[in-house]
Amino acid sequence: MNWNQRQVLVTGAGGFIGSHLSEKLVSLGAGVKSFIKYNSRNDIGLLKFTDGKILDQMEVVTGDFLDLAAIKTAMEGVDIVFHLGALISIPYSYVNPQHVASVNIMGTLNVLTAARELGIKKIIHTSTSEVYGTAKKVPIDENHPLQGQSPYSASKIGADKLAESFFCAFNLPVATIRPFNTYGPRQSARAVIPTIISQTLTKDRITLGSLHPIRDFTFVDDTVNGFIKMAETPNVEGEVVNIGTGQEISVGEIAELIINIIGRNVPIVSENARVRPGKSEVERLVCSSVKAENLLGWKAKTSLEEGLTQTIHWIEKNLFFYSPGRYQI
């Protein structure tokens, strides 16, 4: 694909993966519209960490995709839409499930509706491995049952099914990418790896929730390359594709690994306030990326140690962005 001839829209461009994806698309030569939720501070989110020369090449569009007119206006003149906009915190979904459901389901409906009305050539819809719930079989492939173990995961299942329905009912050219746990520079402390790193760098102990759940962590550069491959690969419309490493590690084990890389001997404490409800906790997520390898030619390239080292260095330089020890939902 010649990206120099493509105009793209990234929803959720002020977020963790969205900001990295927007940067990557600019580097490939695409014309990039970065859609960011408007706020009274006119804050561009994590794009504030983007190099000014790259940021100058983006068109930053503010609005709210709960406003159909706003997202439709932003989508005009676009060839490809990367839909990453969502409320992603699982703990927040326990507190405000209606907000999470409204944004993730109705916001996605607006994106799909606008894309249909404007005749967009391709839409990459972002799912999450959380829709699988606790693994019934490993590694988890795309045929694994979907389980709504939190309001967040249920909202994403709803959004995924809307994307599927628009493909089936209206022949909308939408494909769904399903990343497993992405980590890397810029990620907020509502995620476990930045929580561990920021506390290890600054505190006398690391305070976490459950230590036994198993996850499949993918470095953000690899995840972004998965989005690019989904857009570049023909005939993926209607498909769902997992993006993950296939390597599993528990929360406690990754905390120990981070402690070793940083070189500080700090204890790890499990705090009840951070523990998720028993039936809601996803105990094990391990990705099968066979479909991604066969269909997209994608495979994770960054080792966990390499990715963690890069993430640690970034957080060390940007500790002002974190409040170590505070439980952020």
Give the three-class secondary structure for 117: helix
Q: What is the domain range of residue 295?
A: 3-185+217-246+286-301
Number of domains making up the chain: 1
Q: Are 33 and 8 in contact (CB under 8 A)?
A: yes
- Write down the pLDDT at residue 326: 82
- Written as six digits, the tokens of 36 are 């960011």
Domain assignment present for 180: yes
- Write down the pLDDT at residue 185: 98
Domain assignment present for 319: no
The number of CA neighbours under 13 Å toward the Cβ of 44 is 15
Domain assignment present for 309: no
E strand or H helix at 181, and its extent? Answer: strand 181-183
Domain assignment present for 260: no
Domain assignment present for 176: yes
Domain assignment present for 242: yes
Of residues 241, 272, 274, 268, the one with CA closest to residue 255: 268
- Write down the pLDDT at residue 40: 87
**Bridge partner residues of 181 (DSSP):** 217
Domain assignment present for 278: no
In tens, the pLDDT along 31-78 reads 999 999 998 888 999 999 999 999 999 999 999 999 999 999 999 999
- Write down the pLDDT at residue 226: 98
CATH of residue 27's domain is 3.40.50.720
Low-confidence ranges of the chain (pLDDT < 50): none
- Write down the pLDDT at residue 154: 98
- Write down the pLDDT at residue 322: 93
- Write down the pLDDT at residue 81: 98
d(CA 312, CA 308): 6
- Written as six digits, the tokens of 143 are 């045929």
Domain assignment present for 313: no
- Write down the pLDDT at residue 327: 85
